[in-house]
Amino acid sequence: MSKAKAKPQSQAPPKWQLVSWQKKDEQHARIPHEWRLSSLPASHVTNFIHVPRKCGILSAKEINITENYDATALAEAVRSRKLKCIDITMAFCKRAAIAHQLTNCLTEIFFTDALERAAELDAHLDAKKPPLGPLHGVPVSLKDTFKVRGYDASIGLAALCFKPAAENAVLVDNLLDAGAVLYCKTNVPQTLMALDSHNNVFGRTINPFNTAVTPGGSSGGEGALLGMRGSVLGVGTDVGGSIRIPAMCNGTFGIKPSWERIPYAGQEGGAPAAAAKMGLPASAGPLAHSMRDVDLFFRALSEQKPWKKDPDVIPLPWSTLASSGESGRKLRIGLVRRDGVIDPHPPIVRLLDEVKTKLQSAGVEVVEMDITPLFSQCQSLANAMFGVEGGNAMFDLLESANEPISPWLSTRLRRKAPLELAKTRELHGKREELRKKFLSIWNDQHGEIDAFICPVAPHPVPPVDRWNGVSYTSSFVLLDYPAGVVPVRTFEKADMEGEMAGTEALGSWDKTNRELWTNFDRSVYLGTALSVQVVAPKLEEENLVQAMSTIDKALRGNLRINAKL
């Protein structure tokens, strides 16, 4: 008599999956029913930008607030009492909710707290008290790494979920003291070391302009939210390009300052305390819709004297665009075309030529700079310094929740032994020697270079999980130079022309980069943002903001002749 086969017992979901379901349920519950989209766009729709305007959730006034004001204009409207903080906050909370349903850009949602805060800020002004600061009533979104009291800073790791922060990051306190309204945090890639934005807890963030391409990382949720106008001013972090890459992907302005300029204390990075200082420290910085908003961000934080709460911040007050005055010397901008590691695609080469022509037409002196002998040394050294800790703390967190590593990272990241002290010291020695040599690039035979332009990346905004090397962004973390992104225009059909044939690849990074152009469907780039990067000397953020503002005005045809720093 044969025995009946035992029925297999159903296997319980892994811990990380249960946590993910709980976090997604929590998110859903924090979006009011009346703010939920009745349906999502059809699968053939690849651009979500117009959905908020047409979905019926936003009033005409809320559409106007979210689309026709930058942060500076909102702050002015609050001070003059033309707009109420509660109306501004309501508009951006609703638009952020819509953006999230379309692009999966949010992590923590605190709309209720934000609306209460906005009401308090209105009552403050009703009582004839002066504004708290330059950001009074301005909604500000935050990358998930920033700790906000009472909310998780999980960075998309199951092991860090449902462990709310006991105190705010220093920058969070500074923003609140300046009058900002904080209302949400945004999605990041697992480990924070990817150039897309996917993790197992919250899922993948989508580029709102073209669903086939990446929104960037690691501040990818921040970039997508701003791209959807669900935020007027956001804050990200950058250790390899994590502000500048999402800024490029979503057509916004963004700046990575030198790491000693903006408070970074109180971040969650999934690593032991001070581990980054053994390698390359990250910086916090803004993503915005206008350069005057970038200036507003730096001014608002500087007024809070963040160096009194974060010992890494240098006591250096901010000289604003309005008060900096004329130096009596015409702006000199360098033009760096290539890094000697990865050659740019034809449309990136042409874009640099366009920017050069427009600057020269506006009376700005442009100086061709070939710094490849030094520039080409940066990427390999930066990559080595990223790996000082070996990723062990991050892998410990993943393994504690039985969480698998994201597919893109699975072939690129693995646990390694931490570098020994002698090897770490050697890397820092090479970095210091390279930084010393780089000082020579800021002067040529004709005088001082105020800033230089170069690509953000050697390619246009690429398909999901296809971003190539970060040599054009990580190099300026290695050097601790402030660097920012200025959007120029969108990729058009004419930009599909040009070949890279006839020359040999410079190496494996360049070979992979060419695969994004040669024998490749270039139509995927249509409608995506084309941007340039602007770089200034260490701790010269004011000069960087001035240079970016001048470049932006020249591109838009409203720069005075002989613009000066």
pLDDT 10s digits, 512-559: 999 999 999 999 999 999 999 999 999 999 999 999 999 999 999 976
By the 10 Å C-beta count (0-12 exposed, 13-18 middle, 19+ buried), 510 is classed as buried
How high is the pLDDT of residue 290? 98
pLDDT of the residue at 559: 62
Whether the bond into 440 is cis, omega within 30 of 0? no
Six-digit token pair at 522? 């270039």
For 379-406, how does the pLDDT look when each residue is reduced to its tens digit (9 = 90+)? 999 999 999 999 999 999 999 999 999 9
Q: Where is pLDDT greater, at 321 or 460? A: 460
Q: Is 234 known as a binding-site position?
A: no
Report the range of poorest mean pLDDT among 127-131, 252-256, 321-325, 411-415. Answer: 321-325
Tokens of 255: 């700046």
203 is in an annotated binding site: no
Where does the pLDDT of residue 563 fall: very low under 50, low under 70, confident under 90, or very high at 90 and above?
very low
Helix axes 346-361 and 541-555, enclosed angle (nearest 10): 90
Residue 239 annotated in ligand binding: yes
Please identify which of the residues 23, 84, 143, 256 carries the catalytic annotation.
143
pLDDT given at position 7: 55
- Can you name the residues that pair with 334 across neighbouring β-strands? 367, 452
Question: pLDDT tens digits, residue range 225-245?
Answer: 999 999 999 999 999 999 999
Q: Is the pLDDT of residue 156 over 90?
A: yes
Task: With a cut of 90, say whether residue 38 has pLDDT above it.
Answer: yes
pLDDT at 468: 85
Q: Which of 20, 141, 218, 283 is catalytic?
A: 218
Asked if 143 is an active-site residue, the reply is: yes
Task: For residue 479, say whether it is annotated as part of any ligand binding site.
Answer: no
- Residue 2 in this model has a pLDDT that exceeds 60: no
* Banded pLDDT at 323 (limits 50, 70, 90): very low
- 241 labelled as ligand-binding? yes
pTM of the model: 0.96
387 marked as binding residue: no
pLDDT at 503 over 90: no
Poorest-confidence range of 87-101, 148-162, 368-382, 549-563? 549-563
Quote the CA–CA distance of 317 and 306 in Å, as a whole number.
Answer: 10
Is the pLDDT at 491 greater than 80? The verdict is yes
What value does the mean pLDDT take over residues 14-43? 97
Active-site residue flag, 242: yes
H or E element, residue 175: helix 170-177
Say if residue 249's pLDDT is above 70: yes
Give the residues across from 185 on adjacent strands. 142
412-447 per-position pLDDT tens digit: 999 999 999 999 999 999 999 999 999 999 998 889
Domains and CATH numbers, the chain: 17-33+59-269+288-555 (3.90.1300.10)
pLDDT-derived band at 1, boundaries 50, 70, 90: very low
Asked whether the predicted pLDDT for residue 6 surpasses 60, the reply is: no
443-444 and 447-448 strand pairing: antiparallel
pLDDT over 80 (residue 322): no
pLDDT confidence of residue 162: 98
Residue among 154, 197, 231, 242 flagged as catalytic: 242
Q: Would the pLDDT of 561 be above 60?
A: no
Question: 411 or 327: whose pLDDT is higher?
Answer: 411
Tokens of 383: 């990559």
